[in-house]
Amino acid sequence: RLWLGDSAIERLAGTPWSTIARQLQASIARIDRMLSDQVSSIIHHPDFQKLEASWRGLEYLVRAKDEGGDAPIKIRVLNASYAELCRDFDKAVEFDQSQLFQKVYEQEFGSPGGEPFGVLLADYEIHPRPSRHHPHDDMAMLRSFSQVAAAAFCPIVLNASPNMFGHDDYGQMQATVDYEKVHQDLSFLSWRSFRETEDSRFIGLAMPRMLLRRQYADRTDREGDFPYVERINGREDCLWGGAAFAMGEVLMRSFAESRWLANIRGAQRNDGGGGIVTGIGPEYFATDSPHVSPKPLTELQVADTLERQMVDLGFIPLCSCKDMTLAAFYSCPSAQKAKTYHEADATVNARMSAMLNYILCVSRFAHYLKVIGRDKVGSLLDASVLQQQLQNWINDYVTADSEADTRIKARYPLREAELQVVPVPGKAGAFDCIFRLAPHYELEDMQASIKLRTELIRSF
């Protein structure tokens, strides 16, 4: 009576109750369809998808951290829009006067007792040039980001927009396209210029997007909920998020296993380490038998030839594993374009110095050297004494045995380490510390090293 009203009840007098029940069920089904259409319109809207993807990505990182056990990993969140960061750098005369620099460097790495950041994961998509839909100069932002990252020895991993390859959608990318030629266009001039800078090796751009939520399906175990089944009409209805979150999973797992950040690329069968990305769990195509045809974790299937192109152009490709719900990072380049020299060894050294996994490793030592040296500057005024003490400290992490097993290399992650400390002219109590570190590489005959510089000033 409450549902149909008195007049309808009178008209239905004598009608079997089973018929009335069917009419009620049909009315409820129509309401459910209306609610489903409304919910779908909301969750498939691009603005809502962007918001949900950011929070789903953060949840993804927290779950990955919990799987690391008691590893000393901390996740800190800066809730700032890209437009806010752009205004921050626009107002600053120099990058070190920005609020981001204050939070990343001054309040942590640059302050006694502060905890330096190991890596920043920025959930922003980088475009090659401003447009009507994206009115920001991302190349200028990348320069500012890289300067902050280099000062704090804290690499920043962001997401690459499909516009970085001349497309509006990752589904348009093809392995047969010569993207090196695409990047010769004038619209990529600022990007090519940025890649030539020294600090660009502290920037990583991951691509393509990854799946961050499975399709909503009818669940009968939740009382009071209407039977909502998400209708996916195309790839754009799926919830895609930045591959920077996947890099976060890989980094945390590597650190939890060895307290080191070298094992973050590659994939081996029956081994969940290296660059393997587990994703959100299995998702299967409904058009086949249950649990037979898994959906790929990434928006784009990156084949070997396309992966090589992306690496050469300074991007970190996330590749779906065939017939599996996993993906993997097989390479981890920074945005920097490695220089080419006449000597083969020098060219190899430049390529290795531009690899983000090695930048991450030596940055951890840079944190310690900076803090130890800063604390000793007040009592040791002689540069040679300070240099010797820092050299003695870092020698405890060096082994020249290239044939040592993985356990030994985890304990002694450096093959070579050389430091030089010199006074800064005109600045009493300040020293320049130049260090050249050579991690153990996968190839035994690799002899490359990475050179970094920092200033040691007395802490008060």
pLDDT of residue 325: 77
pLDDT tens digits for range 263-276? 898 887 666 778 89
- 451 is written with which tokens? 């050179």
pLDDT of residue 260: 85
Distance CA 386, CA 431 (A): 9
pLDDT of residue 444: 44
- 289 is written with which tokens? 């038998």
For 12, 13, 82, the CA distances from 6, given in Å and listed in that order, are 10, 11, 58
Conformation bin of residue 450: beta by default, left when phi > 0, alpha when psi is -120 to 50: beta
For 204, 333, 402, the CA distances from 405, given in Å and listed in that order, are 29, 25, 9
Q: What is the 3 state secondary structure string of the chain?
A: CCCCCHHHHHHCCCCCHHHHHHHHHHHHHHHHHHHHHHHHHHHCCHHHHHHHHHHHHHHHHHHHHHCCCCCCCCCCCCCCCHHHHHHHHHHCCCHHHCHHHHHHHHHHHCCCCCCCCCCEEEEEEECCCCCCCCCCCHHHHHHHHHHHHHHHCCCEEEEECHHHHCCCCHHHCCCCCCHHHHCCCHHHHHHHHHHCCHHHHHEEEEECCEECCCCCCCCCCCCCCCCCCCCCCCHHHCCEECCHHHHHHHHHHHHHHHCCCCCCCCCECCECCCCEECCCCCCECCCCCCCCCECCCECCCCCHHHHHHHHHCCCEEEEECCCCCCEEECCCECCCCCCCCCCHHHHHHHHHHCEHHHHHHHHHHHHHHHHHHHHHHCCCCCHHHHHHHHHHHHHCCECCCCCCCHHHHHHCCEEEEEEEEEECCCCCCEEEEEEEEEECCCCCCCCCCEEEEEEEECCC
Contact 339, 200 (CB under 8 A): no
Count of Cβ atoms closer than 10 Å to residue 19 Cβ: 10
Kindly report the CA angle at 63 between 57 and 68, in degrees rounded to 5?
A: 130
pLDDT of residue 16: 77
Burial level of 406, CB count in 10 A (0-12/13-18/19+)? Answer: exposed
- 183 is written with which tokens? 């990047």
Q: Which residues of the chain have pLDDT under 50?
A: 221, 443-444, 460
Residue 314: name the closest of 168, 210, 201 by CA. 201
| Preceding omega of 112 cis (within 30 degrees of 0) | no
Contact 197, 325 (CB under 8 A): no
Burial level of 137, CB count in 10 A (0-12/13-18/19+)? Answer: middle
Give domain limits for the chain: 6-43, 47-215+234-329, 368-457
